[in-house]
Amino acid sequence: MDKPVLMIVVPCYNEEEVLPETAKRLSEKLSFLMKNETISGQSRVLFVDDGSKDRTWEIICGLHQQNPIFSGAKLSRNRGHQNALLCGLMTAKALCDVAISMDADLQDDIDAVDEMLEKYKEGAEIVYGVRSSRQTDTAFKRATAQGFYRFMERMGVDIVYNHADYRLMSKRALNALSEYREVNLFLRGIVPLIGFRTATVEYERGERFAGESKYPLKKMLAFAFDGITSFSVRPIRLITVLGILILCLSALCGVYDLIALIFSIPFSFGLLGLSVWFCCGLQLAALGLVGEYVGKIYGEVKARPRYHLETLLHTGEDESPR
Ligand code: UDP
Ligand code: MG
């Protein structure tokens, strides 16, 4: 295989404090990989400015002028981490053979890049960076993050445990990703849907070396909610099940009341209470049923690709195998 052109995609939002150091470390990494002939000399670091309010874009422009290894892309306004990342990946798709996405604060150990590239050379199209431990996170962040993964799993969203957005994607995987047209973007849920050969690489996650998190609790909750509602109709199904359960229970109690009336047993559930519960159950079940249809529409509206072709065996008219 020829030396692949690598593009490291880094979304940045108000990252003036970390960018100079990040740029230094990433250019060292790339130069090292170019020198030992792992990647092509055309490889680049692509900084995506997600509508920052500070000097982030000026710094990116400066870096690009100083060293052609740095490329920059600027979004028209702040669109959030996932959109900025997608913009970076889609830009990279045309310019590279393989892209690696990572955060600007370098909390993800950049030495894992070497191993990711090794897995790529062994044939993996997607390599997930997975945190081996969360020792550097605060207890709160650790607990909420772990709860997040468990909850997502329960809700039927297929995501890789302890994997954030540090991953390698080949050009083919990027092309497949470009076929997903959803607006509510949750890349961690979409990428596993793509398929192809995948691998994982473990690394230790460090602390942010400067600046503060751009993901406060509020954004994190919104992100989790987006993840669930963009991937699963299970919440709707829960309503249906709850409604049917209440409906059945109150019907059973009604039957008991009838028997109690016939045999003059003193205890009964009371007509008013029961009818309230019955109607409540009926409404929930009906709502859930409507939800099931909305769920179907939601699947259709997303118009996700139904397959990605991995290999095509074909002999053309001239009988030469391809
Ligand atoms: N980020 C972004 N747009 C936003 C918020 C964050 O591009 O609206 C970027 C940010 O610059 C960083 C990455 O997303 O490169 C992850 O953010 P952060 O490190 O603050 O999140 P945490 O590690 O605390 O979860
Ligand atoms: Mg971070």
Residue 36 lies in a domain: yes
Residue 295 phi/psi, 5° resolution? -60, -40
204 and 256, same domain (yes or no): no
Q: How far apart are CA 101 and CA 9, in angstroms?
A: 5
CB burial class (10 A; 0-12, 13-18, 19+) of residue 136?
middle
CB distance 187 to ligand 1 below 6 Å: no
35 and 128, same domain (yes or no): yes
In the reported structure, the alpha carbon of residue 216 is separated from the centroid of ligand 1 by a whole-number distance in angstroms of 10
Helix, strand, coil distribution of the chain in percent, nearest 5: 50, 15, 35
Condensed to tens digits (0 to 9), the pLDDT of residues 138-160 reads 788 778 878 888 888 888 788 88
Query: 187-194 and 81-93 are packed helices; what angle lies between their axes, rounded to 10 degrees?
Result: 40
Q: How far apart are CA 205 and CA 242, in angstroms?
A: 41
Mean pLDDT of 100-113: 92
Domain range holding 242?
Answer: 234-302
At residue 311, the pLDDT reads 56
Condensed to tens digits (0 to 9), the pLDDT of residues 54-87 reads 999 999 999 999 999 999 999 988 888 998 999 9
- SS3 for 93-109 is HCCCCEEEECCCCCCEC
The neighbour count for residue 178, using CB atoms within 10 Å, is 13
Work out the pLDDT band at 298, boundaries 50, 70, 90.
Answer: confident
153 and 246, same domain (yes or no): no
- Measured over the CA atoms of residue 46, residue 48, residue 54 and residue 55, the dihedral's sign is positive
CB distance 107 to ligand 1 below 6 Å: yes
177 and 59, same domain (yes or no): yes
Q: How far apart are CA 308 and CA 195, in angstroms?
A: 8
CB distance 215 to ligand 1 below 6 Å: yes
At residue 319, the pLDDT reads 57
286 and 163, same domain (yes or no): no
Q: How far apart are CA 251 and CA 163, in angstroms?
A: 47
265 and 156, same domain (yes or no): no
Q: Which of 215, 217, 218 has most ligand 1 atoms within 8 Å of CB, for mutation?
A: 215
Residue 180 lies in a domain: yes
At residue 116, the pLDDT reads 96
187 closest CA partner among 210, 144, 214, 158: 158
Residue 218 lies in a domain: no
At residue 273, the pLDDT reads 84
Residue 227 lies in a domain: no
Number of structural domains the chain divides into: 2
8 A C-beta contact, residue 5 and residue 39: yes
141: domain CATH number is: 3.90.550.10
Atom in ligand 1 nearest the alpha carbon of residue 214: 20
CB distance 213 to ligand 1 below 6 Å: yes
Distance of CA 319 to the CA centre of its chain: 43
97 closest CA partner among 9, 198, 169, 192: 169
Report whether pLDDT(196) > 70: yes
Residue 319 lies in a domain: no
Report whether pLDDT(310) > 60: no
Average pLDDT of the chain, as a whole number: 87
Collect all residues with Cβ–Cβ distance below 8 Å to 69 and sequence separation of at least 6. 27, 30, 31, 43, 44, 45
Residue 1 lies in a domain: no
Report whether pLDDT(30) > 90: yes
Report whether pLDDT(322) > 50: no
Side-by-side strand order, sheet with 98-101:
70-74, 44-49, 6-12, 98-101, 163-170, 126-131, 198-203
Atom in ligand 1 nearest the alpha carbon of residue 78: 8
- CA dihedral 93→95→99→104, nearest 10 degrees, is -110
Condensed to tens digits (0 to 9), the pLDDT of residues 239-287 reads 889 999 999 999 998 898 889 889 888 877 888 888 888 888 898 888 8
Residue 67 lies in a domain: yes
Q: Indicate which residue's Cα is closest to atom 23 of ligand 1.
A: 213
In 23-123, beta strands by DSSP E:
44-49, 70-74, 98-101
Report whether pLDDT(169) > 90: yes
Work out the pLDDT band at 168, boundaries 50, 70, 90.
Answer: very high
253 and 199, same domain (yes or no): no
At residue 10, the pLDDT reads 96
287 and 309, same domain (yes or no): no
Residue 220 lies in a domain: no
58 and 99, same domain (yes or no): yes
177 and 105, same domain (yes or no): yes
Work out the pLDDT band at 314, boundaries 50, 70, 90.
Answer: low
Report whether pLDDT(321) > 60: no
At residue 285, the pLDDT reads 87
8 A C-beta contact, residue 85 and residue 47: no
Query: What stretch of H or E contains 140?
Result: helix 139-154
CB distance 243 to ligand 1 below 6 Å: no
Q: How far apart are CA 94 and CA 110, in angstroms?
A: 24
pTM: 0.77
197 and 81, same domain (yes or no): yes
Amino acid at site 257: D
309 and 274, same domain (yes or no): no
Mean pLDDT of 216-221: 80
